[in-house]
């Protein structure tokens, strides 16, 4: 039995994550459908796997020379899977999507990943006590500030302050919101005001095993 390899196009986008000095300190990698480049595809784990496989190939093929961590969105299926791929722990930040319930299975999976040395981020986060077990495991919390008033953002910061997490303000659209979040103690920033996601076309390796 032999294994042959074929190549196919894959489309991704990456959006920079900035620190307080507006230096790029990480990229969020997003899978894109060529027919719909405005929305990430999170409806199954295959999209996330494509992103994982292209963390180094596509970014390197695009000529990037700066090595910064990659934030990758994880579906529930992939988080709890026994076949979770081995990834370079120092280069990957695992994002737990906002629509993933904090049930026992997910908490156990995130605990395993954190114990293995992966950094954990909670995506599009709005505080609720049911997420306390995940907050105790998380390293970064991404607060979706789009549509929030200054008072609502401040309330989220107050609720999250007891946890040992770095706050990332995402979906920043104006300089006023950026400055307000900075004053509240956010350390990381992301949004169209700072930089829109940039599409990256790369190539993935697809293995096929012929029938003997």
pLDDT at res. 180: 96
Q: How much is the average pLDDT of 42-64?
A: 47
108 secondary structure, DSSP code? H
The contacts of residue 178 (CB under 8 Å, 6+ apart) are 169, 172, 189, 191, 193, 194
Q: What is the pLDDT of residues 70-127, one digit of tens each?
A: 888 888 888 888 777 777 788 889 999 888 999 999 999 999 999 999 999 999 999 9
Domains, the chain, ordered by start: 8-207 (3.20.20.450)
**Paired strand residues for 164:** none
pLDDT at res. 205: 38
pLDDT at res. 66: 55
Rounded Cα distance, 153 and 99, in Å: 20
Q: What is the pLDDT of residues 143-182, one digit of tens each?
A: 999 989 999 999 999 999 999 999 999 999 999 999 999 9
Residue 40 predicted with pLDDT over 50: no
Q: How much is the average pLDDT of 18-37?
A: 76
Helix-helix angle 175-184:150-160, to 10 degrees = 30
**Paired strand residues for 173:** none
Query: Which pair of tokens denotes residue 118?
Result: 């992966």
pLDDT at res. 42: 38
Q: How much is the average pLDDT of 129-146?
A: 96
Query: Which pair of tokens denotes residue 79?
Result: 């988080």
Q: What is the pLDDT of residues 57-73, one digit of tens each?
A: 344 435 555 578 888 88
pLDDT at res. 58: 42
- 29-38, 91-100, 131-140: which has the minimum mean pLDDT? 29-38
pTM given for the model: 0.77
């Amino acid at each position: 039995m032999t294994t042959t390899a074929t190549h196919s196009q894959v489309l991704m986008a990456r959006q920079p994550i900035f620190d307080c000095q507006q230096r790029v300190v990480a990229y969020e990698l997003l899978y894109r459908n060529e027919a719909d480049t405005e929305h990430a595809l999170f409806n199954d784990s295959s999209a996330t796997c494509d992103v994982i496989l292209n963390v180094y190939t596509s970014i390197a093929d695009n000529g990037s020379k700066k090595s910064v961590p990659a934030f990758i969105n994880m579906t529930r299926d992939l988080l709890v899977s026994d076949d979770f791929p081995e990834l370079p722990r120092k280069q990957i930040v695992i994002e737990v999507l906002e629509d993933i319930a904090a049930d026992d299975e997910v908490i156990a999976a995130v605990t395993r990943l954190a114990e293995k040395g992966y950094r954990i981020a909670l995506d599009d986060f709005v505080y609720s006590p049911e997420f306390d077990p995940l907050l105790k495991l998380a390293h970064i919390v991404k607060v979706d500030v789009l549509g929030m008033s200054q008072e609502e953002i401040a309330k989220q910061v107050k609720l999250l302050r007891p946890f040992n997490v770095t706050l990332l303000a995402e979906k920043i659209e104006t300089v006023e919101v950026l400055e307000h979040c900075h004053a509240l103690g956010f350390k990381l920033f992301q949004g169209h005001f700072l930089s829109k996601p940039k599409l990256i076309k790369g190539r993935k390796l697809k293995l096929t095993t012929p029938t003997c």
